[in-house]
């Protein structure tokens, strides 16, 4: 199976979390190689979303510290984010390194309980998935492609994307191509839902086996 990695709540009431530097800290996020990104990534004006486009980030531009406002409810392994942004633990970092060492980025974030704390209580990481794969099988996938599937733009991307309709009846079906995925274990698909990181069944099994907290896995068909 192929999985998507989502975020789930582990507490009935999730503790507050705050970026040191506030919203201003996010406006500085930029790509490590801005001239090498595709047209959609170049056009993204919300700088925080650049963490979810499949390209490495200039480390000095990402927020460096967060305040986790609870000492009794410690941050789970997927501590904060919306799938584009992924603040993750060292345990997740270690599993990624087992499968794809040196492929993706982990940008360190110092975690504090209070703004005035002299020392952080731990280090988490912005996980930046740095692989983009056109991973759906076009023959068995029932999601309509809006655009021109066989046409490529100057940046190499197809002209268009899969048009997902959550209310479709019968439900749309995404079928992933193992041939396209190859030996990769983590990727984003620029045509389906780039905001989600997808993973191999082996990686998903490792997440579940290690009992990482805060991750929700959704499986999809593959061929």
Per-residue pLDDT of the chain (223 residues; tens, 9 = 90+): 799 999 999 999 999 999 999 999 999 999 999 999 999 999 999 999 999 999 999 999 999 999 999 999 999 999 999 999 999 999 999 999 999 999 999 999 999 999 999 999 999 999 999 999 999 999 999 999 999 999 999 989 999 999 999 999 999 999 999 999 999 999 999 999 899 999 999 999 999 999 999 999 999 999 9
Q: Are 135 and 198 in contact (CB under 8 A)?
A: yes
Closest residue by Cα to residue 192 from 136, 113, 125, 147? 136
Distances 79 to 93, 178, 191, 212 between C-alpha atoms, Å: 13, 30, 27, 11
What's the token pair of residue 215?
């991750």
Closest residue by Cα to residue 124 from 62, 194, 181? 62
Burial (Cβ within 10 Å: 0-12, 13-18, ≥19) of residue 59: middle
Q: Are 80 and 26 in contact (CB under 8 A)?
A: no
Question: What per-residue confidence (pLDDT) applies to 1?
Answer: 73
Residue linked to tokens 């990769």: 184
- Indicate the pTM of the whole model: 0.95
* Coarse DSSP helix, strand, coil percentages of the chain, rounded to the nearest 5 percent: 20, 30, 50
Strand order in the sheet with 105-112: 17-19, 65-68, 105-112, 122-128, 86-88, 78-81
Distances 105 to 38, 172, 187 between C-alpha atoms, Å: 19, 32, 12
Question: What per-residue confidence (pLDDT) applies to 16?
Answer: 96
Q: Is 54 left (phi over 0), alpha (psi -120 to 50) or beta?
A: left
Question: What per-residue confidence (pLDDT) applies to 165?
Answer: 94
Q: Do strands 215-222 and 2-7 pair parallel, antiparallel, or not at all (unpaired)? A: antiparallel
What's the token pair of residue 128?
């930046």
Closest residue by Cα to residue 103 from 138, 78, 130? 130
């Amino acid at each position: 199976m192929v999985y998507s990695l989502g975020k789930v709540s582990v507490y009935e009431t999730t503790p507050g979390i705050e970026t040191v530097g506030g919203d201003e800290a996010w406006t500085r996020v930029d790509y490590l190689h801005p001239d090498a990104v595709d047209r959609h990534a170049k056009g993204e004006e919300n700088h925080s979303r650049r963490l979810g486009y499949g390209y490495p980030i200039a480390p000095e531009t990402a927020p460096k510290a967060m305040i986790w406002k609870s000492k009794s409810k410690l941050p789970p392994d997927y501590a904060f984010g919306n799938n584009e942004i992924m603040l993750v633990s060292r345990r997740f970092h270690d599993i990624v390194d087992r499968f794809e060492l040196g492929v993706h980025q982990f940008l360190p974030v110092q975690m504090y309980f209070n703004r005035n704390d002299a020392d952080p209580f731990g280090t988490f990481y912005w996980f930046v998935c740095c692989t983009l794969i056109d991973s759906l099988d076009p023959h068995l996938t029932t999601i309509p492609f809006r655009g021109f599937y066989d046409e490529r733009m100057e940046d190499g991307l197809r002209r268009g994307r899969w048009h997902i309709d959550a209310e479709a009846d019968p439900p749309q079906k995404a079928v992933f191509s193992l041939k396209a995925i190859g030996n990769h274990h983590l990727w984003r698909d620029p045509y389906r839902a780039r905001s989600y990181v997808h993973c191999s069944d082996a990686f998903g099994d490792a997440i579940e086996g290690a009992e990482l907290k805060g991750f929700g896995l959704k499986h999809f068909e593959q061929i």
